[in-house]
């Protein structure tokens, strides 16, 4: 019987079936950061337990660190305290930490793939919602809570129920090609809009189809990153030649003949022709235009040429949320999203903080200057991304256009560091969540879009169709 990648990876990592019916699942890679680990390590100390597999555990600092000045001690006492806990615990338990002095620090979901830690056929866990990012290399990757972080540290296992599997096929080709304004971010926002923010509950997503297959690894990372925003437990792309070439030569990937052997095994983990799925969803790639969210969850999105929908046109259970979204955002039903004024522009995050994202934003930044009254931040996803971008002169393009060039970190994706919205500010953001209060202000407003669309909004001061600038 033909098997899916989910079947193969799950079976390969199953220790046993628990009395609850859940699987005791071995975790091949455990990535940790400073926010969800202090309590987990404290629980280990209280139980007098060691880390079960230190060689499979790697840490970084990302969520709380400032991106303007990273000199220690941090100005924010809480950030400094969490950093101190991370340093102390990593040293005490003998675990590697990619800190600022390492040259490899960055957002956990950026550095895992770029260092070659994340590999096909793995199970990967991290105490962060967007761990699904690592599925882009052909892994099964879960976000977990603090108690589960403790469990993985202590046992290298999780108790989990195997999800159902939905194949999400994006057919055809993107209408204008990536170089002309339609990007991976638009594709995943379109998927979430079609299937709903709760559509993936109980499922893993296998992304497939010609549009996905033609994507670079960094584009696939963007797609898989937002699986959780569609309710899915995880999301992945089958490993192929793109995967193999991406991992070749990376520090933690196998080297030489060992790499060739690994590559053959990685490709064997891909879903087999004729495998069955619990559901199949299809999207037409040619129908996708640049997408902007207008509401208070990532499913509330429209094409940049479209108008904000009316609550009255929605199913009855969804109308209250639509009305709440309109009230919070200060929009009216029927209003075009194009032309909406912004105050802040943010390019970065584990969704869109990679080198290709910065390149796309820089192509737009060349076309103008940051509009008066707009605060615009470019935050590389890792120190290595920053170094590569600076080697290409991207930072000079941004600085000349009036953008701020920051150091690596999660930054304005979430309100846990110095980079926050103030009051009712409207943000054009390349991040992944537009929930009320997500970017640090309870009255702040977030419009999710691609990095190129963010840059277009930054230089015009309003939501703009980036295709008009790139022409």
Ranges of each domain in the chain: 5-160, 164-287, 291-470
| 164-287 shares its CATH topology with 291-470 | no
User: What's the rounded Cα separation, in Å, for the pair 149 and 98?
Assistant: 18
> What order of strands is seen across the sheet that includes strand 164-171?
234-237, 203-208, 164-171, 279-284
Contact criterion met (CB below 8 Å) for 427 and 445:
yes
Q: Which residues neighbour 421 within 8 Å (Cβ) at sequence distance 6 or greater?
A: 343, 344, 412, 415, 427, 439, 440, 441, 444, 445, 446
- From 278, 276, 135, 294, select the one nearest 207 (Cα to Cα): 135
Alpha carbon of 166 to those of 79, 188, 195, 200, 232: distances in Å?
Answer: 40, 15, 11, 8, 9
Superfamily of domain 5-160: Aconitase, domain 3 (3.30.499.10)
User: What's the rounded Cα separation, in Å, for the pair 176 and 195?
Assistant: 23
CATH match for 164-287 among 3.40.50.1950, 3.40.1060.10, 3.40.50.1820, 3.40.50.720: 3.40.1060.10
Query: What is the model's pLDDT at position 471?
Result: 85
Contact criterion met (CB below 8 Å) for 454 and 430:
yes
Contact criterion met (CB below 8 Å) for 440 and 420:
yes
Query: What is the model's pLDDT at position 175?
Result: 79
Q: What is the mean pLDDT of each run of 10 residues along the chain (471 residues)?
A: 97 98 98 96 97 98 95 93 97 98 98 98 98 98 97 98 98 74 97 98 98 98 98 98 98 98 98 98 96 98 98 96 98 98 98 98 98 98 98 98 98 94 98 97 98 98 96 85
Q: Which residues neighbour 208 within 8 Å (Cβ) at sequence distance 6 or greater?
A: 167, 168, 169, 170, 237, 238
User: What's the rounded Cα separation, in Å, for the pair 85 and 6?
Assistant: 36
Peptide bond preceding 73: is omega within 30 degrees of 0, i.e. cis? yes
Query: What is the model's pLDDT at position 64?
Result: 95
User: What's the rounded Cα separation, in Å, for the pair 283 and 450?
Assistant: 19
User: What's the rounded Cα separation, in Å, for the pair 225 and 433?
Assistant: 11
Residue for token pair 């070749």: 248
How buried is 421 (Cβ within 10 angstroms: 0-12 exposed, 13-18 middle, 19+ buried)?
A: buried
DSSP-derived letter for residue 9 is: H
User: What's the rounded Cα separation, in Å, for the pair 371 and 323?
Assistant: 31
User: What's the rounded Cα separation, in Å, for the pair 217 and 113?
Assistant: 9
- Helices 451-460 and 355-365, axial angle in degrees (round to 10): 30
Query: What is the model's pLDDT at position 179?
Result: 52
Assigned architecture for domain 291-470: 2-Layer Sandwich (3.30)
User: What's the rounded Cα separation, in Å, for the pair 324 and 11?
Assistant: 44
**Three-class secondary structure of residue 362 per DSSP:** helix
């Amino acid at each position: 019987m033909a098997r899916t990648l989910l079947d193969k990876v799950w079976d390969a990592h199953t220790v046993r079936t628990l009395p609850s019916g859940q699987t005791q699942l071995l975790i091949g890679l455990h990535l940790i950061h400073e926010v969800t680990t202090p309590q987990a390590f404290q629980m280990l100390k209280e139980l007098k337990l060691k880390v079960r597999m230190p060689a499979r555990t790697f840490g970084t600092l990302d969520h709380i660190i400032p991106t303007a000045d990273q000199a220690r001690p941090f100005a924010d006492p809480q950030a400094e305290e969490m950093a101190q806990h991370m340093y102390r615990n990593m040293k005490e338990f003998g675990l590697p930490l990619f800190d600022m002095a390492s040259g490899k620090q960055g957002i956990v979901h950026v550095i895992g793939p770029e260092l070659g830690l994340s590999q096909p056929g793995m199970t990967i866990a991290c105490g962060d919602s967007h761990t699904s990012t690592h599925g882009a290399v052909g892994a099964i990757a879960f976000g977990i809570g603090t108690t589960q972080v403790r469990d993985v540290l202590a046992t290298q296992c999780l108790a989990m129920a195997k999800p159902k599997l939905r194949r999400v096929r994006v057919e055809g080709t993107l209408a204008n090609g990536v170089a002309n304004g339609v990007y991976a971010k638009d594709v995943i926002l379109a998927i979430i809009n079609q299937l709903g923010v709760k559509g993936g509950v109980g499922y893993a997503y296998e992304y497939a189809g010609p549009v996905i297959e033609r994507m670079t690894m960094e584009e696939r990372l963007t797609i898989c990153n937002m699986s959780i925003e569609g309710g899915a437990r995880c999301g992945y792309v089958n490993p192929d030649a793109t995967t193999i070439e991406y991992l070749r030569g990376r520090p933690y990937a196998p080297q030489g003949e060992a790499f060739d052997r690994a590559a053959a095994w990685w490709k064997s983990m891909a879903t087999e022709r004729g495998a069955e799925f619990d559901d199949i969803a299809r999207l037409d790639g040619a129908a996708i235009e640049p997408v902007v969210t207008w509401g208070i969850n990532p499913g509330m999105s429209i094409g940049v040429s479209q108008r904000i929908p009316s609550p009255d046109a929605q199913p009855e259970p969804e109308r209250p949320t639509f009305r709440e979204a309109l009230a919070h955002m200060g929009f009216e039903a029927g209003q075009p999203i194009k032309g909406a004024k912004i105050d802040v522009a943010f390019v970065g995050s584990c969704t869109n903080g990679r080198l290709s994202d910065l390149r796309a934003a820089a192509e737009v930044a060349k076309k103008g200057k940051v509009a008066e009254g707009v605060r615009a931040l470019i935050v590389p996803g890792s120190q290595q991304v920053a170094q590569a971008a600076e080697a290409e002169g991207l930072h000079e393009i941004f600085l000349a256009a009036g953008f701020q060039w920051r150091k690596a970190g999660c930054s304005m994706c979430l309100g846990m560091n110095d980079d926050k919205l103030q009051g009712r500010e409207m943000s054009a953001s390349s991040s992944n969540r537009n929930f009320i209060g997500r970017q640090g202000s309870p009255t702040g407003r977030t419009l999710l879009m691609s990095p190129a669309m963010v840059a277009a909004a930054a230089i015009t001061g309003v939501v703009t169709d980036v295709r008009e600038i790139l022409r």
